[in-house]
Each structure stands twice: as C-alpha cells, then as structure tokens.
C-alpha cells in the first residue's frame, strides 16, 4: 500500500482518510472504489491528508458501472429514508432527520439527524436494521455539518467555506475573534449555522506565530472605495 494518504468524499457528511492499493496513483478529482469494514463504496478524491491513520483502502479507480451504482441506489435510499422517518415518528423521538447515505454495495446505510439533546434510539436502530436487512449507522450531527450538507451563501456573499473547500471543520472560540481585534458581537461574526464563522480561523495560525515571537501584526491595506 502507498504511504500517501488521501481524503475521499463519499457523501458531504462522510469524508474518509484512505491509502491506495499497491500501484494505484490518485489525484484530486479522481473517482475511486473504497473498501473498509467489509463494505465497498465510491467516492471522489478531495485532496491529500496528513492524518497518519487511514480508515480505508482505495482498491481501484471507479469504472462507469461504479458511478452508475451511485444513481441506482438512490431509489433505495429514498425508500429507506421514508421508512426511517416513520419509525422515528412512531417512537416520538425529538430528532430532525436530514439525510441518508447508502454504501455503493448496499451492505451498509447511514442516517443523519439533528437534535438538541442526546437520544436513546436503540429500539429505532433494531427495527430499521431488521427492516432493511443491512448494517445501519444512525449519526447525530451538528449545525456546522448541516450547513456543509445544504450549502448556501455566507454574509460575505460567497459560497459557504465549509461546503466549498474546507476539508475539515475545526472548533472556533470567541478568543480567536478577540485576537484579531474584532468587535465581538456574535450576531455579526456568526454564519448560517449560528456558530462562529469558519473564516475566523484563517489568520489564526499567523497571528499565533506573531504572538509567540512578540511581533506586531502588519497593517493591511484597506479594500474598498479609494
């Protein structure tokens, strides 16, 4: 296997660090077939990863029939999602089911939901697993992940960073904004998800280095009207 690790996206909420099979060379934008935990899926290479722990193996480049499998599973995903929502309603669970992802070989399926509290969904898991006859994952996501899933425009008027290009969503605190001498009004520095803007971290590493070396941040030219 290769020593190079890649970040592969099988679904906006499922990005996996993978290593390539012997002799397989990959580039960002390539579609590949992954094998992990006894299942196979198809995903697109988003870039390289510095994470030393690969979770899956890219066994080969995807063929046209592999890409077609993504389309073929959509009907099953929709039917499974509808059944899942009915069971959620049956048990009166306070969750908002937002999406589903089935592996290309249809041996595993994941349901994603939002909730303001921790839930016990063991009965739900048992019933949907029995109904579908495959491995089932039920995963609670946060509002940042939901924003990445649906996309949209940020207050700057550009596509959301989390949806457009960020490989990972890292935590952000008000301290990050204070270090940049920003006016700390949460309403002004929060994104569509209601959390602090991801872009607040973009200058954080540079500022941190300046604080360590006691250098004064350089003044930046203003951008706007002359």
CA dihedral 13, 15, 16, 20 (to 10 degrees): 140
Domain boundary among 13, 41, 68: 68
Same domain membership, residue 104 and residue 58: no
Domain shared by 64 and 77, yes or no:
no
Give tens-digit pLDDT for 17-58. 999 998 899 999 999 999 988 899 999 999 998 888 889 999
Do 151 and 208 lie in one domain? The reply is yes
Number of domains into which the chain is organized:
3
81 shares its domain with 106:
yes
Q: Which domain holds residue 25?
A: 5-68
Same domain, 93 and 127: yes
CB atoms within 10 A of CB 25: 9
Residue 183 lies inside a defined structural domain of this protein: yes
Q: What is the pTM of this model?
A: 0.76
- What pLDDT, in 10s, does the model give residues 100-141? 999 999 999 999 999 988 888 999 999 999 999 999 999 998
């Amino acid at each position: 296997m290769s020593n190079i690790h890649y970040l592969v996206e099988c679904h906006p909420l499922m990005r996996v660090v993978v290593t390539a099979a012997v002799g397989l060379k990959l580039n960002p934008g390539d579609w590949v077939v992954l094998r992990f935990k006894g299942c196979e899926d198809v995903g697109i290479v988003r870039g390289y990863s510095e994470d030393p722990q690969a979770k899956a193996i890219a066994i080969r480049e995807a063929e046209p029939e592999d890409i077609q499998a993504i389309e073929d599973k959509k009907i099953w995903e929709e039917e499974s999602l509808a059944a899942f929502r009915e069971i959620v309603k049956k048990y009166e669970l306070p969750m908002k089911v937002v999406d589903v992802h089935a592996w290309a070989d249809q041996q595993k399926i994941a349901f994603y939901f939002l909730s303001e509290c921790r839930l016990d969904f063991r009965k739900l898991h048992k019933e949907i697993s029995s109904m579908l006859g495959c491995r089932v994952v039920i995963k609670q996501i946060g509002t940042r992940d939901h924003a990445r899933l649906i996309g949209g425009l940020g207050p700057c008027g550009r596509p959301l960073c989390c949806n457009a290009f960020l490989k990972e969503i890292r935590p952000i605190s008000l301290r990050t904004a204070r270090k940049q001498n920003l006016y700390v009004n949460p309403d002004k520095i929060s994104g569509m998800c209601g959390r602090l803007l991801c872009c607040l971290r973009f200058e954080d590493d540079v500022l941190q280095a300046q604080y360590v070396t006691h250098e004064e941040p350089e003044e930046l030219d203003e951008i706007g009207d002359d």
